[in-house]
Chain A
Amino acid sequence: MTYRIVLETCFNCGLCRRVCPTEAIKYYTTGSRTHIIDEEWCVDCDLCAKICPVACIASHPAVQPAAAQLELARAKARGFAKKQRADLQAVDARIEAFVATTPAGDERRIDD
């Protein structure tokens, strides 16, 4: 299964491109200033369809990438997710290190 963008509705906000874990969505190199999904790299994660503000991305169950290619794409997606998790963990560690120094019940805290 893969996804396709309805170009008549798409207004190039780029959100789908930014969340795609395999960078399967192209814009700069399509030669037509439009967002296009490279079906070979689609892993059917649905992130692009979920984030699209005008719901112009739909699945196409009939299109099925070859198994070997799909595995390559999935490996790339796993790498992307791993990197994102590591980045967030680093931010979280920084936040927690600071919060630990903040006295409990301090006047800046609300809803306590």
Chain B
Amino acid sequence: MAALRDYLDDHFTVRDPEYRPSTEIDDAEKESLKERIGGVENYEIPTLRRMVAQHPENAEFRKALVSGIVSAEYAGIDAFGTRVGLWEDYDLPADLLMTMIRQEWDEVRHAQLGTQLLESYGGEFGEYPDTLGGANREQDAEGRPVRGPIATDPTVSLSVVNVQIEGGALELFAGVSKLGAKIDDDLMEFVYDYNWADEVVHVQIGDYFVNKIVEETPEEERKALMAQAQVELFTSAQRQISPAAEVMAFMQEEAERARTVLADE
């Protein structure tokens, strides 16, 4: 009994407007970003927050900031929705799947709130590209979707998406809500305060279920930490900042452990 899983094995995610990651936009769109916000290099959330804070009178900056955030909410709808089906075959606590469904609807609400906030500035969803990669388009030889462990493996997914990424989003939402208050944008303040509260629950869900899954399974616990550390390294590289020394130490420890295991075999 895996009807949803079977369906997902054969179908890619679709969205209207289509996913358009900022890393894959064409020259014409790069030029348009240059004209509106100074270039594609400014189309990342921390920079856009700074731009709005310093130039609150510029509606384009607000549109770009909210577009960037809301595009990730749409990707969240895909992420949590597909997990409900992809995890059907795992022996998981039933309440874990229920929480995925709950989060699915939270993301829908966040996307709706963000879209309406964007429209209040005269913007439209889709006029800016996606800040996250968007739906996975990798396919196998038969043209069917290939999904990585971040989608298919509950330990990796909860650790990376719920704990690491949504943990980071807590600061984002709290910060943008405060930014709204600072620039007298009530709607921005309340939308992101609302989202923040949901995000606290999402991280709690992730942490709670990672702990349940890895209970008495050191291998799974290491897998959870390793997946999280890899995302942390990737994010640091993307933002051109040095990763925390502890992350590097952990990766070295893991490499050493893997070498020992291989040598023993």
Interface residues of A (CB under 8 A from B): 11-15, 17-18, 23, 26-29, 33, 51, 53-54, 87-88, 91-92, 94-95, 97-99, 102, 108-112
Residue on A nearest B221 in the bound complex, by CB: A33
A13 to B57, CA, bound (A): 33
Shortest 4 CB-CB contacts between residues of A and residues of B: A98-B38, A28-B250, A13-B167, A11-B207
User: Residues of A contacting B47 with CB < 8 Å?
Assistant: 91, 94-95
Tell me if B38 and A111 are in contact (CB < 8 A): no
Q: Is B70 in the interface zone, CB < 8 Å from A?
A: no
Contact A110 B59 (CB under 8 A): yes
CB distance from B52 to the nearest CB of A (A): 10
Q: Please pick, from B37, B164, B168, B253, the residue contacting A98 in the complex, using a CB distance under 8 A.
A: B37
**C-beta contact mask, B203-230 vs A, less than 8 Å → 1, else 0?**
1100110110010000001001100110
Contact B60 A29 (CB under 8 A): no
B246 partner, pick from A29, A88, A91, A98, beta carbons under 8 A: A29
CA distance A34 to B166 in the complex (A): 17
Docked Cα-Cα span, A88 to B164, in Å, equals: 24
Tell yes or no: B42 within 8 A of A by CB.
Answer: yes
In the complex, residue of chain A having the shortest beta-carbon distance to the beta carbon of B203: A13
Q: Which residue on chain B has the smallest CB distance to residue A97?
A: B38
CA distance A26 to B174 in the complex (A): 23
Q: Which residues of A contact B207 (CB under 8 A)?
A: 11-13
Given the known inter-chain contacts A13-B203, A95-B50, please indicate yes or no for A28 contacting B38, CB distance below 8 A: no
User: Mind listing 26 A-B residue pairs with CB under 8 Å?
Assistant: A11-B204, A12-B203, A12-B207, A13-B163, A14-B164, A15-B167, A17-B244, A23-B244, A28-B246, A28-B247, A28-B249, A28-B250, A29-B249, A29-B250, A29-B253, A33-B221, A53-B200, A87-B241, A91-B50, A92-B54, A94-B38, A94-B41, A95-B50, A109-B58, A110-B57, A111-B57
B214 and chain A: residue at smallest CB distance:
A33
Complex Cα distance A88/B51, Å?
A: 11
Q: B50's contact among A23, A29, A92, A112, by CB below 8 Å, is which?
A: A92
B-chain residues with CB within 8 Å of residue A15 when the two chains form the complex? 167, 170-171
Q: Which residue of A lies closest to B51 (CB)?
A: A95
Nearest CB in chain A to that of B169: its residue: A13
Q: 10 additional contacts, CB 8 Å, given A12-B203, A29-B253, A91-B46?
A: A13-B170, A13-B200, A15-B170, A18-B171, A29-B246, A29-B250, A94-B38, A95-B54, A97-B38, A108-B36
Given contacts A23-B244, A91-B47, contact A111 B56 (CB under 8 A): yes
Q: Are B210 and A33 in contact (CB under 8 A)?
A: yes
- Whether B39 sits at the interface, judged by CB under 8 Å, is yes
B182 adjacent to chain A (CB < 8 Å): no
